[in-house]
Structures are given as C-alpha cells and as structure tokens.
Amino acid sequence: MQRTYFHCAPLPLHIGSIIYQGNWGRLFSLYEAKPGEGLPTNAFKEVVLELSRKLYAPDAPSRLDCVFVTPTIEEAIAFRNKYQRTNLIYEVTPVGEAPPLHVGSYELALAPYPQKYFQAIFDMGRDYWTVPATANREVLIGSPVRIEHMCEVPTPPALVFT
C-alpha cells in the first residue's frame, strides 16, 4: 500500500497536525435549501454517489467520511489549479496500518453532468465506484492523515503597476 499522498487544504497547517476524515460530510450536512431554489446540484451528486457506494462498493470509505488526497504531487497540483486555486498542498500519511481506500476520478464527482439524459446521473455514480480511474485520481482514505510537510504554495501572478 502506498504510504504518502497529497492533500489540498485552504489553511496553513502545522507539520505533524492530524486531519480527521469527514469534513466534507460535515459541510455537506449543513447545506440549507433556499426557498424557491432548492439544493445546489453538487448536493444531489453526493447523494447519488453515496447511494451508489452502498450498492456497488459497500466496503469503500464514504466520500462523506474520508480525507480526499491524490497519489502524486503532479495530480494534486492539477486538481488544485482547476478546482481550488488558492489551496496549499501537503504531503500526508495515513494514521493507522491499513485504512480503507478507494481511488475514483474527481472529474466524475465534480464536473457537470456529461449529458442531458437522466441515466447519465446513475452512470456517473456507478462508474465512480466501479471503473478504475487512470487520470484525475482522488483517493478516499477512511482514516485520519498526518501532515508530513508543505509541498506547494500557489504563486500569485506578478503585480504590474503602470
């Protein structure tokens, strides 16, 4: 099992700090429907992904109770640059000997639905848990992780005054 992964976080964190699983689930559980607007689309995607996990990969860690990491620094940089531009990247290691893991494609979970047909929503959920990701990989770790060191700080563009 791989022991070193890379995690994007919005805050400066101390070396040795522990990141506990489940923060995304905590935030997700606090979503509120706005009168007349309903819930954001990503809320429905997470529901589909969680129900699909229970159906297709019941032993995999839940996206709602995991730490999201990438297997390489290059993948962390690509993810950060596309989805979380201001985040810092940390090298992390799982706490514990054999935490449950799942490798999925973050593009399936984050990108807009690939087509207009209703079946595509179900296909996305099934594919996330059953099709091995070869690109855009996110690893779900079902245990806390320890920060080993900071790897990458986003570089702001140069300010030019004229």
Please check whether residue 157 lies inside any domain of the structure: no
Please check whether residue 160 lies inside any domain of the structure: no
Which amino acid appears at position 135 of this protein? A
List, in order, residues 6 or more apart from 9 with CB less than 8 Å away: 19, 87, 88, 90
CB atoms within 10 A of CB 147: 18
Domain with 54 in it: 5-152
The arithmetic mean of pLDDT across residues 56-67, rounded, is 97
Please check whether residue 162 lies inside any domain of the structure: no
Please check whether residue 79 lies inside any domain of the structure: yes
∠ at Cα 77 (76, 83), nearest 5°?
Answer: 85
Banded model confidence at residue 70, pLDDT cuts 50, 70, 90 = very high
Question: How many domains does the chain divide into?
Answer: 1
Region of residue 31 (phi > 0: left; psi between -120 and 50: alpha; otherwise: beta): beta
Closest CA to 28 of 13, 47, 48: 47
Please check whether residue 158 lies inside any domain of the structure: no
State the pLDDT at residue 118. Answer: 79
95-154 pLDDT per residue, tens: 988 899 999 999 988 877 656 677 888 899 999 999 999 999 999 999 999 999 999 777
Phi and psi at residue 18, in whole multiples of 5°? -105, 130
Please check whether residue 161 lies inside any domain of the structure: no
Specify the CATH number for the domain of residue 137.
Answer: 3.20.170
